[in-house]
Amino acid sequence: MALMTGEQYMESIRNMNMQVYMFGEKIENPADHPILRPSLNSVRMTYDLAQMPEYEDLMTAKSHITGEKINRFAHIHQSTDDLCKKVKMQRLCGQKTAACFQRCVGMDAFNAVYSTSYECDQAHGTNYHDNFLKFLEYCQTNDLTTDGAMTDPKGDRSKAPHEQEDPDLFLRVVERRPDGIVVRGAKAHQTGIINSHEVLVMPTISMGEKDKDYAVAFSVPVDTKGIYMIIGRQSCDTRKLENTTMDVGNPEFGGVEALVVFDDVFVPNDRIFLNGEYEFAGVLVERFAGYHRQSYGGCKVGVGDVLIGAAAVAAEYNGVQKASHVKDKLIEMIHLNETLYCCGIACSAEGSATPSGNYLINLLLANVCKQNITRFPYEIARLAEDIAGGLMVTAPSEKDLKDPVIGPVVEKYFKGVANVSTENRLKILRLIENLTLGTAAVGYRTESMHGAGSPQAQRIMISRQGNLAEKKALAKSLAHIEE
């Protein structure tokens, strides 16, 4: 089975025995919990779209290992065309969910570990690339979703992993056995972990010799003994418990993040992809971050498409769609959104092959892409709120609208143009609220700032990759400066 249907995917997650906690309780059936279900629906979309002939070219690819048709989210990029299609696929998924569809972290981790394990083997005679290929083939053939887990809790940011007062603040190897290793620690902000079959763990920063035990990469099923997850709160999350649809804004889809704890988890030898070769930690981080910074040039643009559309609908419902300033604001939003897309496509088109054969994005352009993402979605959200008007945050609830006594009053006084129902007007405002301030704001707003690394992380990469020396030489040469 190289492609699962959405329904098969849902069932496969339901059959896992994950340890999930939320609001101080253990959740017995996360897949069907009203707060968590929308996040599962978003990942499901990556399966549903892959079944549709019109999206086959974007959503699927040919496995370079088996030659079989696989979901592109499990693909190893074989060309710049693959890199471009990845971004287009993510824009499509963003448009269809208006949420984080979570499966990209695994795809980005696959591609980063693929090339890094190869280079580590070349340098050290290790066997990590073969281990990884076996794991990858298993994920491709069974169409699994993998969580790419990088971010450690990090404790005191001024200290290296081995200098932390609590050594568990970075995930590490605590025991080496003949048949494998035992790891302890945690990964924070894990997008989609509860909707994944496997977790692919990587180190979070470049490391020195004293951090050897922290330089570890591996994969295990998410329901392995010793792994448990604590769900992160989202703004307005409990609205999903109210049994209404309008107030949620985007009733079907959402994202999810969790803290994942590895409480002495055993990893067998054939699932280890890095184990002490500390000089490859930085390479792995740089590549994963680069791929995920490229990803944002797709997913955030797709969600941006929905937000721009929602703002335009809100303008029509208010009767202001012909006002020149409103038109201009929509143009500005499109300009910003397409600029982000340009960055996603550019870093893909300028990609190149790694020694292992897979394709890596242009790292400078991928970092510029993400740096713009830390800014433009905020401006797009600001303009959407401007166009939407204050009612977006002062409108009464769906229960008030449906109430037999006060409902007609709400209906009458919150009416916009005559031919649009108050209900539709409030629905579109709630969608904008969801994207800018509600549950989806995690994925569209703050994640634009901090996901795939905070702004300063990109600036460090831009300064490293920007080749200032060459630019200075150009200037000196033209000015006939000889030193």
Contact (CB, 8 A) for 76 and 64: yes
Which one is catalytic: 257, 286, 398, 433?
257
Out of ligand SF4, Fe ion, none, what residue 250 binds, judged by CB under 5 to 8 A for its kind, is none
List the one residue from 104, 248, 380, 395 that touches ligand SF4 (CB under 6 A).
Answer: 104
Q: Compute the least distance from the CB of residue 101 to ligand SF4, in Å.
A: 5
- Residue 290 is a binding residue for Fe ion (CB under 5 A): no
- Residue 295 is a binding residue for ligand SF4 (CB under 6 A): yes
Contact (CB, 8 A) for 116 and 126: no
338 annotated active-site: no
Binding mask 47-86 for ligand SF4 (x = CB under 6 A): ----------------------------------------
- Residue 254 is a binding residue for Fe ion (CB under 5 A): no
Q: Compute the least distance from the CB of residue 444 to ligand SF4, in Å.
A: 9
Q: Considering only residues 376-395, where is the footprint of ligand SF4 by CB under 6 A? A: none
Rounded to whole angstroms, the Cα distance separating 401 from 338 reads 37
Q: Compute the least distance from the CB of residue 296 to ligand SF4, in Å.
A: 6
55 annotated active-site: no
At residue 206, φ and ψ (nearest 5 deg) are -70, 150
Nearer to Fe ion, 302 or 451 (CB): 451
At residue 133, φ and ψ (nearest 5 deg) are -60, -40
List the one residue from 251, 344, 451, 453 that touches ligand SF4 (CB under 6 A).
Answer: 451
Which one is catalytic: 191, 374, 422, 439?
191
Nearer to ligand SF4, 180 or 443 (CB): 443
Nearer to Fe ion, 256 or 312 (CB): 256
In terms of phi and psi (left: phi > 0; alpha: psi -120 to 50; beta: otherwise), the region of 244 is beta
Out of Fe ion, ligand SF4, none, what residue 434 binds, judged by CB under 5 to 8 A for its kind, is none
Rounded to whole angstroms, the Cα distance separating 287 from 293 reads 10
At residue 15, φ and ψ (nearest 5 deg) are -80, -5
Of 296, 300, 321, nearest to 311 by C-alpha is 321
Diameter of the chain by CA atoms? Answer: 85
Rounded to whole angstroms, the Cα distance separating 61 from 225 reads 33
- Residue that is written with structure tokens 């994963």 in the block: 288
List the one residue from 106, 255, 451, 453 that touches Fe ion (CB under 5 A).
Answer: 451
Name residue 360's beta-bridge partners.
Answer: 352
Out of Fe ion, ligand SF4, none, what residue 101 binds, judged by CB under 5 to 8 A for its kind, is ligand SF4
Q: Compute the least distance from the CB of residue 172 to ligand SF4, in Å.
A: 25
- Residue 369 is a binding residue for ligand SF4 (CB under 6 A): no
Q: Compute the least distance from the CB of residue 159 to Fe ion, in Å.
A: 26
Q: Considering only residues 190-229, where is the footprint of ligand SF4 by CB under 6 A? A: 191
The residues near 300 (Cβ < 8 Å, ≥ 6 apart) are 94, 340, 373, 377, 444, 448
Cα angle for residues 458, 202, 304 (degrees, 5° grid): 45
286 annotated active-site: no
Q: Compute the least distance from the CB of residue 239 to ligand SF4, in Å.
A: 21
- Residue that is written with structure tokens 């006939």 in the block: 480
Listing DSSP states for 268-330 in one string gives EGGGEEEES-GGGHHHHHHHHHHHHHHHHHHHHHHHHHHHHHHHHHHHHHHT-TT-HHHHHHH
Round the CA-based radius of gyration of the chain to a whole number and report it: 23
Nearer to Fe ion, 172 or 292 (CB): 292
369 annotated active-site: no
Contact (CB, 8 A) for 301 and 91: yes
Out of ligand SF4, Fe ion, none, what residue 286 binds, judged by CB under 5 to 8 A for its kind, is none
User: Which residues contact Fe ion (rule: CB under 5 A)?
Assistant: 451
User: Which residues contact ligand SF4 (rule: CB under 6 A)?
Assistant: 90, 100-102, 104-105, 191, 295-296, 299, 443, 447, 451
- Which active-site residues does the annotation give? 100, 104, 191, 257, 292, 296, 299, 447
